Amino acid sequence: MPFTLPSDLSFRPVAVIGAGTLGRRIALMFATRGDVRIYDPVRQAGEEAVDFVARHLPETAERVGGTPGTVTATTEAAAAVAGAWLVVEAVPERLELKREIFAELDRTAPADAILASNSSSYPTGRFADAVARPERLLNMHFYMPPRQSAVDLMSSGHTDRAVLDLLLRELPRYGVQPFEARRESTGFIFNRIWAAIKRESLAVVAEGVSTPQDVDRMWQINTGLPSGPFRQMDKVGLDVVLDIENHYAEENPALPAGPRELLRRYVEAGHLGVKTGRGFYDDYRARD
């Protein structure tokens, strides 16, 4: 069934569901050209996300040639999505949680709002049956904007073609660059490549062959990039990385267990990376 595309985009907000590391960065990019509402059930998380956007918005908006909008946070999901033309889910990588979130969004968001999941490992086809109109549902996966500004777009298997075309056209205005995965792919495009690099880096350390610091330093020397796989995992959050690896293992039980066991030790110790001040590295201060 064709989906009626949202209109008057410039006058309608974008809603971001989840105020974590990526949620606040997604909000930042959409705030470069309009109003954004962030929903998180934890009030402090929402306040911290608003503060993050406020601190980075002037520079980011100038970089993309935008006119800064406003960003607010709420602990009421219905208030966040009221009037929104786009709703982006950015909650932890747990399938049942996402199903519950999208069932609620389907009931409370405007009938013409596009519903997008930032899931890094679950295709939206896995929870398309939770919404009445899967024609408006798709994956919209961000990396780490504003520095890593690529975005994967992938159909739920039911997504109206016009929804994909609208987003391919509109997203560059917000300083992000969309790429369409042309068939269902766990991990989309870049993340499938990154998953192999990340998993083998973890395996090298889990087997006692090297250390996170040495792996990262060799990576920097040989690629010329500013940081290596372990710094990157610390930035994402080791709990998030573990959730993703667990999902890959569910789909492919032949994957080695060593990388997940190494991650689990850090997560169980509460060392999640930058957000807790310690992960594979312990030199973090209170920073974003």
Residue 154: pLDDT over 70: yes
Q: What is the pLDDT of residue 271?
A: 96
Extract the tokens encoding 186.
Answer: 């766990």
pLDDT digits (tens, 9 = 90+) for 245-287: 998 898 899 999 999 999 999 999 999 999 999 999 999 874 4
Q: How confident is the model at residue 191 (pLDDT cuts 50, 70, 90)?
A: confident
Measured between alpha carbons, how far is 127 from 142 in angstroms, rounded to an integer? 19
CATH number of 9-181: 3.40.50.720
Q: What is the pLDDT of residue 288?
A: 45
Q: Taking residues 31-51, what's their average pLDDT?
A: 97
Residue 222 has a CB neighbour count (10 Å cut-off) of 9
Q: Taking residues 106-120, what's their average pLDDT?
A: 96
Q: What is the pLDDT of residue 237?
A: 94
* 242 Ramachandran zone, left/alpha/beta (phi>0; psi -120 to 50): alpha
Rg (alpha carbons) of the chain, rounded to whole number: 19
Q: Taking residues 67-96, what's their average pLDDT?
A: 95
Q: Taking residues 81-98, what's their average pLDDT?
A: 94
Q: What is the mean pLDDT of the chain?
A: 94
The segment(s) of the chain belonging to CATH 1.10.1040.10 are 191-276
Measured between alpha carbons, how far is 107 from 82 in angstroms, rounded to an integer? 11
Q: Taking residues 18-29, what's their average pLDDT?
A: 96
Residue 2: pLDDT over 80: no
The segment(s) of the chain belonging to CATH 3.40.50.720 are 9-181
Residue 216: pLDDT over 90: yes
CATH number of 191-276: 1.10.1040.10
pLDDT digits (tens, 9 = 90+) for 120-143: 878 999 999 999 999 999 999 999
Q: What is the pLDDT of residue 208?
A: 97
Q: Taking residues 136-165, what's their average pLDDT?
A: 96
Residue 76 has a CB neighbour count (10 Å cut-off) of 12
Extract the tokens encoding 253.
Answer: 């039980």
Asked if 167 contacts 137 with a C-beta cutoff of 8 angstroms, the reply is no
Q: What is the pLDDT of residue 186?
A: 84
Measured between alpha carbons, how far is 107 from 133 in angstroms, rounded to an integer? 10
Q: What is the pLDDT of residue 287?
A: 45
Q: What is the pLDDT of residue 1?
A: 64
